[in-house]
Structure 1
Amino acid sequence: MKSVAMIPTFNEAENIQSLIEEIIKVDKQIEVLVVDDDSPDGTAVLVEEISRKYPRVHLIWRKEERGRGKAGIVGFLGALELGADCVIEMDGDFSHHPRYIPHFLKAIQHYDVVIGSRAIPGGEERGRKLSRRLITRFANSYIRWVYHLNIQDCTSGFRCFRRSVLEALPLKKMISRGPSIVEEVLYACHCLGFSFKEIPIIFEDRKYGESNLSLPKLFNTFFMILRFRFAPSWK
C-alpha cells in the first residue's frame, strides 16, 4: 500500500525539516507532499532543498489563491497523482506527531477514514491555553449537533483517507478557502456513507512559529459549517 503524508504549510520553516525527517524515519516507504502557500519565511525553498536529498519528498508551491482550504484540495489531488493508496493529512508544525503514522496505516486497512482524536480515551491536548481547549470542545459539540455525527473529534486535521474516498469526494466543487475545509471534507465523507475510526493522539501545541488561526477565521468556520449542512455547493 503506497502512502503519502500531505502537509499544507504557511510559514513553517522552523518546523518543516525536522518534521519531514521524522516522518521518513518512522516509515521507510512513505512519501511526503508539502503544499506551501508561498510562505514569506522560505518554507518552500527549504522543502525544495530537502527534496534533493530525499527523492520521496515532493513540493507543490502555490502562488495564487492562498488559503488552507485550497491548499488541502490541491494536496489531496496531488497525492492521488503520486499514486497514493492512502493519504495522511497532517499539520506542518509538529502538533501532529509522525509517531502515530503506523497506527493510521494499520487502522485504514479496515476503515475508510481514520481520525486522530484528542477527545477519546488516550487522546489529549497539551500546551494549549484553556481558551483554545474550550473553543475546540464547543466546536466539536456544535458540529456533532449540526451534522448528526457520532465522532468525538470533528475538528481534527490529523486524518487518513483511502484513495477510494478521495476519488469519490467532490473536491473540485468544495468552496472552503480557510480551515473550514476540515469540516467540509468530514461532512462530505459522512454524506457519502464512508466508515470512520478514531484513534487516540496527543496533540502538542506548536513550539516554533505562530498559529494562522484568527478570530475572523474562527467565525467564518462556524458559519461555513452551517452552509455545508444546509446549502452545500457539491450536492
Structure 2
Amino acid sequence: MSTALITGANKGLGYETARRLIAEGHTVWIGARDAERGRQAAERLGARFVQIDVTNDASVAAAVRAVEADGGLDVLVNNAGIELRRPDNSVVPTAETTADQMRQTFETNVFGVVRVTHAFLPLLRRSAAPVIVNVSSGLASLDHVSDPDQPAYMFPGLDYPASKLAVNMITVQYAKALPSFRINAVEPGFTKTDLNGNTGFQTVEQGAEAIVRMALVDLDGPTGGYFDRNGTLPW
C-alpha cells in the first residue's frame, strides 16, 4: 500500500480524499496550514498530520523532513487552493480584478503547487510508483470557458480560472519531465465546499471521486492528462 500526502486536507475535498484512501488501506498524511484543525482532522480519520503552508518555503521544507523521517512518500495530492471572493460571497468580476489579487491567488494555487512538488520530488523519486495529482478545475478548460453552451462560459472571474489553467500546464510539463511518474490534473466538479462559499451542487463524496481515482493509478495508468470523474476533459 502507498503513503500519500494531501495538502489542504483538514476539510472539504482533501479531507474526503484522505478518508477514502485510508479506507482503501493506504497511509495518509493530512497536510494543513492550521495545526489544530489539521491534528483534529487526522485524529478523526486515523491519519498522520504534518503542518504545511504551501506559500512558505520553510514550512514546506519542514514538512518534507517530517515525512522523510517517517519513511517516505508515494503519492502527492496538491489540493490546497483559494478562490478570492467579496464579503457577500460573490466572485470578483474580471474587469475589477487587480494584479495584487491575481498574485495572491497564484501564490497558493500555482506557486504553491510548484513549491510543494519541487520540495517533495526527492522523496517521490525513491518510490517504486510515484504519483502526483494536481487538483484543477473545469474553469481551466479553454474549450469550455469559450463555449457559450458550457456552464463554465458564464463564470465572471479572472484570477481563479487563470490559476487553474496554469496548473494544467504545470501538470503537462512535469509529466513530460518525469516519465516514470504518473502526473495528472483533475476537475472535481462544482462541489459544495468553503472554497466557493458552499455554493456548489455536488457533495464532497462526488467531488473526491476523480481525485481518488488518479491517486490510485498504477504504472500503466495515464499521465499528463486532465480528467473529471467521467473521463478525459478538453484542454
Q: Structures share a fold, TM > 0.5?
A: no
TM range (shorter): 0.3 to 0.5
What TM-score does the superposition give when structure 1 sets the normalisation length? Answer: 0.40
Q: Which has the higher contact order (CA 8 A, sep 6+)?
A: 1
With normalisation by structure 2, the TM-score equals 0.40
More helix by share: 2
